[in-house]
Amino acid sequence: MNISTLSPAFLDSTSKDKFAESIGQALTEISRFFDKDQFYSGASVSQLKQQMQTIVGKLDQPLNLEDTLSELKELYLDHAIAFHHPDYIAHLNCPVLIPALVGDFIASSLNTAVETWDQSTSATLIEQEMINWTCRLFGLPQTADGVFTSGGTQSNFMGLLMARDDYAFKHLGVNIKQEGLTPDVSRFRVFCSDKAHFSVKKNAALLGMGYNSVVVVETDERFKMKPEALQAAIRKEKQQGNLPIAVFATAGTTDFGSFDPLNEICAVAKANDMWFHVDGAYGGCFALTHTHKHLFDGAQYADSITIDFHKTLFQPVCSSAFLVANQQNFRYVSHYADYLNPIETKEADFQNLIVKSVQTTRRFDALKLWFTLRMVDETDLIYYLETVHRRAIDAYELLQAQGCFELVHEPELSTVVFRYQLPNEATNAQLDEANLYIKNTLFNSGLASIASTRLNGNIYLKFTLLNPNTTVTHLQHIIELVVTKAAEYANSQELIVRSR
Ligand SMILES: *Cc1c(COP(=O)(O)O)cnc(C)c1O
């Protein structure tokens, strides 16, 4: 193959027309996806696996774009989950803003990697401005800094890594980055509520502290961490000779959207000389709103904060940030590589963002947020967030009016957790089965997607409202479907009973 037949495959000045044409063809397929009237086709797992089987045998035969797109349509586009659909209210996936997509597209096309200045130039400055904006959102001090990450899990990882290394350095004189883990680390303890995200435990394991290092603190009836229970748990661990190093508070728990009382928890953490992290992966963006701003009181004293723009600021995945109150703490992740960011550049008049990240090659995800903030009025963003919160309250009231649901909380953010109660007295196992039936048959029908979770060991259903276009009418329709599925289940059970 000679160069001239190869080159049109690459994006450069000779192939711009082909690029535009290709993207145009892709856009046609994308708009078809957005025309669908269901969130899902309802295809079964075996149908999709079979679809893949018809293709795998032919993977060594390259296709042109048209054929690749039509193959992809049948394999994926026809069956992809439509998060923009008002009847999709399952997980923390949001519909995305067009300005953010434009930013994403530019970032991908230019393929900027935000690791060193000589790879990213002013992209470095754009990311830094987005970090500064986010630091101001929480009222962090001048010394604060941050970095974009792949998501809340990675941001929480960085928070725990810094908490671990900072404690070891300050209290034990140990440099973990240099020496690795010492036996004392097995006595490190991290505290979070029993409704905190699983990534706290997962990260503790990844960081060599083990699941056992995570002490789960009781929550109150609104699923908020009890400060006095935290204090008691810390005291108990100290008595046992363990070393409390950090508290991970949650601003918007994944299931209940509940906010731990940050000010009170912060006071307990500081009194015990512990790192105070605020996990705002889900709730963080609500610091913009009038309805939830007060719940962030205390976040300004956090040592570190997690915020996911891809959860609640209508950004495509990934768009997420980790903030730290004292930028010096990035020393626990920084590394100077001769070929990339030699130590001489430490004092240069430009930044190599790589010194703040656990990644090396990293996407220019900040450009999506940049486009969003340049093009969308902040008042509109606030309105969208307050709308999805309002929708959760609407859903709560509609479910309550039905009389056949057990509601476990008044929505604090944009989720509602509840379960269907069978007409006759039922065991928890029967209730679990009934509620799973509702969730699964709804999903398979392609008509609506809702989530499930566990509370006190039992299955509950969950609505996650993140789409400002989901209206009360949509909710009424989804609840009708839930009730229909519930009746279907109850009837099928009666049939079994009768046939015995
Ligand atoms: C979703 C979530 C995370 C994890 O974020 P990812 O972006 O999915 O990695 C962490 N904490 C909370 C509270 C979350 O809701």
Give the residue-averaged pLDDT of 297-314: 98
- Between CA 352 and CA 120 the distance in angstroms is 9
Report how far ligand 1's centroid is from the alpha carbon of 451 (Å).
Answer: 16
- Between CA 314 and CA 337 the distance in angstroms is 36
Q: What is the pLDDT of residues 224-260, one digit of tens each?
A: 999 999 999 999 999 999 999 999 999 999 999 999 9
* 220 touches 242 (CB < 8 A): no
Ligand 1 atom nearest to CA at 156: 10
- Between CA 301 and CA 143 the distance in angstroms is 12
Q: What is the pLDDT of residues 403-453, one digit of tens each?
A: 999 999 999 999 999 999 988 888 999 999 999 999 999 999 999 999 999
The pLDDT of residue 1:
47
User: Which residue's CA lies nearest to atom 4 of ligand 1?
Assistant: 152
Report how far ligand 1's centroid is from the alpha carbon of 87 (Å).
Answer: 22
Q: What is the DSSP letter of 107?
A: H
Q: Does residue 152 line the site of ligand 1, with CB under 6 A?
A: yes
pTM beyond cutoff 0.85 = yes
Helix, strand, coil percentages (3-state) for the chain, rounded to 5, are 50, 15, 35
Q: Does residue 254 line the site of ligand 1, with CB under 6 A?
A: yes
In angstroms, what CA-CA distances link 139 with 20, 281, 288?
A: 43, 17, 12
As annotated, the residues of the chain forming the CATH 3.40.640.10 domain(s) are 113-375
Give the residue-averaged pLDDT of 124-132: 98
**3 state DSSP class of 128:** helix
Q: Does residue 93 line the site of ligand 1, with CB under 6 A?
A: no
Q: What is the pLDDT of residues 358-401, one digit of tens each?
A: 999 999 999 999 999 999 999 999 999 999 999 999 999 999 99
Report how far ligand 1's centroid is from the alpha carbon of 280 (Å).
Answer: 8
Q: Does residue 284 line the site of ligand 1, with CB under 6 A?
A: no
Q: Which of 122, 153, 154, 177 is nearest to 329 (CA)?
A: 177
Ligand 1 atom nearest to CA at 199: 10
Token digits of residue 50: 């079979």
Please provide the CATH number assigned to the domain covering 113-375: 3.40.640.10
Report how far ligand 1's centroid is from the alpha carbon of 254 (Å).
Answer: 7
Report how far ligand 1's centroid is from the alpha carbon of 108 (Å).
Answer: 24
Residue 499 has pLDDT above 70, yes or no: no
Report how far ligand 1's centroid is from the alpha carbon of 444 (Å).
Answer: 26
Ligand 1 atom nearest to CA at 92: 1
Q: Does residue 462 line the site of ligand 1, with CB under 6 A?
A: no
Q: Does residue 231 line the site of ligand 1, with CB under 6 A?
A: no
Q: Does residue 255 line the site of ligand 1, with CB under 6 A?
A: no
The pLDDT of residue 341:
86
CATH fold for the domain made of 379-492:
Aspartate Aminotransferase, domain 1 (3.90.1150)
The preferred substitution site among 254, 358, 462 for testing ligand 1, maximizing ligand atoms within 8 Å of CB, is 254
User: Which residue's CA lies nearest to atom 15 of ligand 1?
Assistant: 254
As annotated, the residues of the chain forming the CATH 3.90.1150.170 domain(s) are 379-492
Ramachandran region, residue 121 (left: φ > 0; alpha: ψ -120 to 50; beta: rest)? left
Give the residue-averaged pLDDT of 308-312: 98
Q: Which of 459, 458, 463 is nearest to 448 (CA)?
A: 463
Q: What is the pLDDT of residues 68-78, one digit of tens each?
A: 999 999 999 99
Q: Does residue 282 line the site of ligand 1, with CB under 6 A?
A: yes
Token digits of residue 34: 């957005």
Neighbouring residues of 134: CB distance < 8 A, sequence distance ≥ 6:
146, 307, 321, 323
